[in-house]
């Protein structure tokens, strides 16, 4: 193994958080970013069949347990995080349209979105505030986070499945079937029965 690759391996092993190629180069005394990237790719290939993998998430690299071995290391039962249908819809909209404002999310969903829904997704670490839109009121805009990519095993948003892939997996058809079985669409129920957070006055800045 090349000296640079060994140094990168040691740096990532000791790092408290994922690092990108530029940060690694700086940490290793100003190593060229291109050389670091090549070494990272070689390391990733080296670990491809081992018990731990070197993976890239949102341009940052870290080690993680091989997916087929993860179950062996779970000592306690994981708490399953279940999102409401509204939260799932909002997360999908942010992922595919980011950066997006709350008003734009509501325009796509066709129903008012509670502040609580956005709070749930931010507390999960999957979306965050990306700034403010230039325009009247300068509304807050939201985008997905590196934790979102990491949780869903995506290197970047380019890896999000397309409509054809979702339909091939049966996910779109499944949602269509659920809509047909519902007495009233979720959007209509939200419009008739807003929760307390939806009834609070909306800030002019959001």
Domain that holds residue 48: 3-69
What count of residues does the chain have?
Answer: 206
Model confidence, pTM? 0.49
Report the mean per-residue pLDDT for the chain.
78
Sequence-distant (6+) residues with CB within 8 A of 25 are 31, 32, 33, 35, 36
Weakest-pLDDT range from 63-77, 98-112, 150-164, 191-205 = 191-205
Residue 124 or 197, more confident: 124
Domain match, 100 and 190 both: yes
Asked whether the predicted pLDDT for residue 178 surpasses 70, the reply is no
pLDDT, one tens digit per residue, over 43-62 is 999 999 999 899 988 889 99
Q: In CATH, what number is assigned to the domain containing residue 174? A: 1.10.10.10
Give the three-state DSSP class for 205. Answer: coil
Domain match, 56 and 99 both: no
Would 7 be classed as within a structural domain?
A: yes
Q: What is the mean pLDDT of residues 1-22?
A: 88
Domain match, 187 and 104 both: yes
Domain match, 36 and 100 both: no
Listed in sequence order, the DSSP H helices in the chain are 3-14, 21-27, 33-46, 85-97, 102-109, 115-123, 146-151, 163-168, 171-181, 186-192, 196-199
Helix (H) / strand (E) containing 20: strand 19-20
Give the three-state DSSP class for 61. Answer: strand
Question: Is residue 140 within 8 Å of 98, Cβ to Cβ?
Answer: no
Number of domains in the chain: 2
pLDDT at position 194 is 43
Residue 3 or 190, more confident: 3
pLDDT, one tens digit per residue, over 110-167 is 888 888 889 989 988 899 999 998 888 889 999 999 888 888 888 888 888 776 665 5
Give, in order, the Cα–Cα distances in Å from 32 to each of 13, 165, 171, 183: 20, 38, 44, 61
């Amino acid at each position: 193994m090349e000296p640079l690759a060994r140094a990168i391996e040691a740096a990532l092993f000791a790092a408290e958080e994922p690092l990108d190629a530029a940060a690694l180069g700086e940490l290793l005394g100003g190593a060229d970013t291109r050389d670091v990237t090549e070494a990272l790719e070689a390391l990733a290939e080296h670990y491809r069949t081992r018990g731990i993998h070197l993976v890239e998430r949102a341009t940052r690299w870290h080690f993680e347990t091989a997916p087929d071995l993860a179950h062996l290391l779970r000592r306690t039962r994981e708490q399953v995080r279940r999102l409401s249908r509204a939260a799932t819809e909002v997360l999908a909209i942010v992922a595919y349209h980011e950066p997006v404002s709350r008003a734009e999310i509501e325009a796509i969903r066709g129903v008012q979105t509670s502040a609580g829904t956005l709070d749930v997704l931010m507390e999960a670490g999957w979306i965050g505030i990306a700034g403010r839109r230039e325009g009247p009121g300068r509304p807050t805009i939201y985008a997905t986070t590196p934790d979102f990519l990491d949780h869903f095993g995506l290197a970047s948003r380019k890896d999000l499945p397309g409509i054809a892939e979702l339909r091939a997996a049966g996910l779109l058809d499944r949602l269509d079937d659920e809509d047909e079985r519902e007495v009233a669409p979720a959007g209509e129920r939200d419009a008739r029965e807003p929760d307390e957070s939806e009834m609070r006055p909306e800030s002019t800045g959001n």
